[in-house]
Structure 1
Amino acid sequence: PEWEACVSGSVKLAEELGLPVVATHPTQFMSRDDFNAHEARVCIAGGWVLTDKKRPRDFAPSQFFIPPETMAEHFADLPEALENTVEIAKRCNLHITLGKNFLPLFPT
C-alpha cells in the first residue's frame, strides 16, 4: 500500500541528488504459485500453521517474476527508469542452468 509514496519519495530524492532512477521489482519466486509452497515450507520448518497470524511473513505473493509489459505499465510515468534498467542489464553476463542442482562438495 505504501508503494506509490515510496516510489515518489525515491524519485524526488534522486532528483534532488542528481541520481538516475532504476525500475525494480522485488522478486523471490519464479511464479505466483511458488509463494504458497514457500509459505508451507516456512511453516513446516518453524513449527507454525498457515493460519497463525503471529508467524513470520517475510515475503508477499506479488514477489514473482513479472512480464516486461507489466513493468512497462508500472513505470509508464518514469520511462528513464526503464531505460536505466536496460542499460544495467546490458552490462550483466549471467548464464543459469535451470532444472539441475549444483550442490557444494563437502568432505564426508
Structure 2
Amino acid sequence: MKIKVLLVDDEPHNLDILRIVLTALSYELYEAVCGQDALRMVDEYAPDLILLDVMLPDISGFEVCKQLKERSGFTTPIIFLSANVQAEAIEKGLSIGGVDYLKKPFDFDLLEKKISLALANAK
C-alpha cells in the first residue's frame, strides 16, 4: 500500500514541483490549496504525512497544525515548508507540533530524507 501524503500549499508552482518529486518516490498524493481544505482532507483521506505551507489564504499553516493536534488520537507527522525561516517562525512551528520545518525553496534530497525520517519516527 502506498504512503499517503497531503500537500498543502496555495502556490500552484510549489504543488507542481512537489507532485513531480513525490510521485517519482511512489507516494500517493492529495493536494489542498487552503487550510480549511486541508482539515477536510485529513478527515477524508487520513494521510500518513502532511507537508504544510505556513502562509495560506484563509488560515495559517500554524493554525491548521494546532487544530489537528487538538484532535484526539491525531498522530500524523507534519513537516512545515515555508519561505519564512525567521527563528520565531521555526520555533513556533516546532512548538505546536510540527516534526520539522524546511525552507523554501528546498533541497529535494533533504526533503526526501526528512520525509523518510518523519515516517519512520511515526511508526
What range describes the TM-score normalised by the shorter chain of this pair?
under 0.3
More strand by share: 2
Which is bigger in relative contact order (C-alpha 8 A, separation at least 6)? 1
Larger-Rg structure: 1
